[in-house]
Structure 1
């Protein structure tokens, strides 16, 4: 039985490649704090996470570099599985 593909070498390599680009968050346009790693990155809303332009739940490919985007942890979580429209990022907002 195969393990979690997010723990695999190909996924970790894709994350490292995307991180190395140093791009701003594709959702809000803000700068990402790439200095955060390990536990600090897991706790910070402004740390890097790998997001997928086409959500995995909507048929997006986990390992396709063309589907990979840099995002803040907070923006990625708020966006959920909503798709972008016409190539433009979804401006995530949360209703309280």
Structure 2
């Protein structure tokens, strides 16, 4: 059975280093609840700027950034933000 590299000491050290900086969310810019339970949507998670599934380095501090759990989940493995929805125009003047 293969070991999960996210359970290792180097990964936990990287998380602790990033958590100690208490940075705002890299996606939305709002403050992160660093004291919240890990399952809370506004709690801290480590995000990789270059996703691991696309060759990003797991332990590179330059690839790590702080993000809300909710923002990190919605980002997925994309490297660019999803396109913003354009407002719909009415077909006739009201």
Q: TM-score range by the shorter chain?
A: 0.7 to 0.9
How many residues were matched structurally?
84
Say whether 1:12 aligns with 2:9: no
Q: Alignment partner of 2:78: what SS?
A: coil
Tell me: CA distance 1:92–1:12, structure 2 relative to 1, closer, same or farther (3 Å): farther
Q: Greater helix share, 1 or 2?
A: 1
Runs of 4 or more, structure 1, over 6 Å off, are none
Q: CA RMSD in A?
A: 1.7
Tell me: CA distance 1:83–1:6, structure 2 relative to 1, closer, same or farther (3 Å): same
Structure of greater Rg = 2
Structure 2 segments unaligned to the other structure (5+ residues): 85-94
How does the TM-score come out when normalised to structure 1?
Answer: 0.81
Residue of structure 2 in register with 1:82 after alignment: 78
Higher relative contact order (CA 8 A, sep 6+): 1
Which of 55, 58, 61 lines up with 1:62 in the alignment? 58
* Distance apart, 1:18 and its partner CA: 0.3
Contact in 2 for aligned 1:54/1:83 (Cα 8 Å): yes
Residue of structure 2 in register with 1:87 after alignment: none
Contact in 2 for aligned 1:26/1:69 (Cα 8 Å): yes
